[in-house]
Amino acid sequence: MKKIISSLLIAGVTLLALPNDPVELSLIAKAAEKKAIVLATMKLDQETQKKFGDLYDQYQEKMMKLRIQELSIIAEYAKNYNNLTNDTADKLIANWMDVEEAEHKLKKEYIEKFKKVLPSSEVIRYYQIENKFELMRELQRSELIPLAIPAQLQTTK
């Protein structure tokens, strides 16, 4: 009973702290759902799950910031889609590569951190799970974002 009450209190406090932005709310909901799936799939004992869960939350928070940067790049692309100049394309490519590099660096950093709480065989399992989520996200994104129209083709419409 105490666990139920404390869970409800935590949930209530969490709800008060939630943002009003529907996109942010959606990201938070998806993140919570993803964490539940990851933890269920990892099948860790309670003590290890706590250590891993805390580290997982830190990692996902940092990754979420990179995802938000990625969304702003996509928004900039959408804004310029019909008049995509080479200069704008260069900026978008540079920003996209910066985010990609930051993601890669973050993954490498957290592999070492995860190895402090999990054996390497569990770390690789986690990253396999993470990669499956990444592939689904990439597929959804690729379906939503149209290919760029090169500047020389825009003038021949």
Q: How many domains does the chain have?
A: 1
Within 10 Å of residue 38's Cβ, how many Cβ atoms? Answer: 17
Give residue-wise pLDDT tens across range 104-147: 999 999 999 999 999 999 999 999 999 999 999 899 888 888 88
Within 10 Å of residue 91's Cβ, how many Cβ atoms? Answer: 14
* Domain assignment present for 13: no
Q: How many residues does the chain have?
A: 157
CB 103 within 8 A of CB 66: yes
* Domain assignment present for 74: yes
* Domain assignment present for 105: yes
* Domain assignment present for 26: yes
* Domain assignment present for 81: yes
Give residue-wise pLDDT tens across range 46-95: 999 999 999 999 999 999 999 999 999 999 999 999 999 999 999 999 99
CB 85 within 8 A of CB 151: yes
